[in-house]
Amino acid sequence: MLSRTAEHLFWMARHIERAENMARMLDVTFRMRLLPSSINQPIEPWAQPWAVPLITTGTASAYYALYKELNADNVLEFMVSNPENPSSITNCLKHARENARTVRGTITSEMWESLNSTWMEYGNPGPEILETTRLGEYFEHVKQRSHMFRGVTVGTALRDESFFFTRLGTFLERADNTARILDVKYHILLPTPQDVGGAQDHYQWGSLLRSVSAFEAYRKIYRDTIHPRKVAELLILRRDMPRSLRHCATEIYSMLSRILGNTGHEALRKAGDLNARLEFGRIEDIFATGLHEYLIDFLDRTGELGAEIHQEFFASTELEMRLA
């Protein structure tokens, strides 16, 4: 497969996955706003509910370059539709579609149609979408379209390299997003790990779980009230939880090992290492290290893996040099 094609496939998948995760994160923040203010009382002064999406995506400085005030309307505008924000939902939908358009001959027509129609219907929603009555529906649509794209991909794509690179993008992006959400939320919710209980915790932790579609899974697995440690375990180590770091790492490793050829050895090694750490990791050790430190280390590793994938598959100049 052409290196450039592989790169477009990878970013196509990353962008639609990112759009979904943005929608999830904003949706729960938005829903939290509907609860009484006692629930929304920030524990730390910097942890205003509407700062969370900015901190999670690392876009706070870009935000303050554009807006003076931190409030719901501004953050929603910035994260949903502001063209200056490269990670805004509309930009993600646009990039996903543009990448798909470039490789439309490689993906199935159903995959292309799904991203093209998503962009046509939700890529330029207009200011009225930010109204309270419509926003929830918009997030729902974006999530569903992302589900649809994944479903169409799994249901129609030939299991060749184009599929592997697409899935690689999906899971690398998801791993990154889950780790970020967990890190920021944890930071805000648990300045001291002993604080447990209370209605506020229930809603806050519940919203974290909901943002990664894990609320029902938590209940099913633990049959218990929400404990921060179990939440972390669920989202980090559980293999059966499709948005957990473990699940993502396993998929990443599996995709990389199926990409044949004489390249990518280091990327495969890094992915295997990442997977092994999660496979044999224990939640006690993670908390002993410190959850924040653990997650930062994880994000560094996925970042390096991404760079390695880029180096070995997308910019494979090294092999050209070896050509006699």
CB of 96 to another protein, least distance (A): 13
Q: Cβ closer to another protein: 111 or 278?
A: 111
Q: Cβ closer to another protein: 4 or 239?
A: 4
Q: Cβ closer to another protein: 164 or 186?
A: 164
Contacts of 127 (CB under 8 A, 6+ apart): 81
Taking residue 243's Cβ as centre, other Cβ atoms within 10 Å add up to 22
**Residue 23: burial class (beta carbons within 10 Å; 0-12, 13-18, 19+):** buried
Taking residue 297's Cβ as centre, other Cβ atoms within 10 Å add up to 13
DSSP per-residue codes, 7-69: HHHHHHHHHHHHHHHHHHHHHHHHHHTTS-HHHH--SSTT--GGGHHHHHHT-HHHHHHH-SS
CB of 288 to another protein, least distance (A): 40
Q: Cβ closer to another protein: 112 or 171?
A: 112
CB of 144 to another protein, least distance (A): 17
Which residue has tokens 């979904």? 20
**Residue 82: burial class (beta carbons within 10 Å; 0-12, 13-18, 19+):** buried
CB of 1 to another protein, least distance (A): 5
Q: Cβ closer to another protein: 8 or 143?
A: 8
CB 266 within 8 A of CB 312: yes
Interface contacts to another protein, rule CB under 8 A: 1-6, 98, 101-106, 109, 112-113, 116-117, 120, 161, 165, 259-264, 313-314, 316, 319-320, 323-324
Task: Please give the radius of gyration of the chain, using alpha carbons only, rounded to the nearest integer.
Answer: 20
Rounded-to-integer distance, Cα 6 and Cα 162, Å: 7
CB of 324 to another protein, least distance (A): 8
Q: Cβ closer to another protein: 124 or 132?
A: 124
CB of 199 to another protein, least distance (A): 47
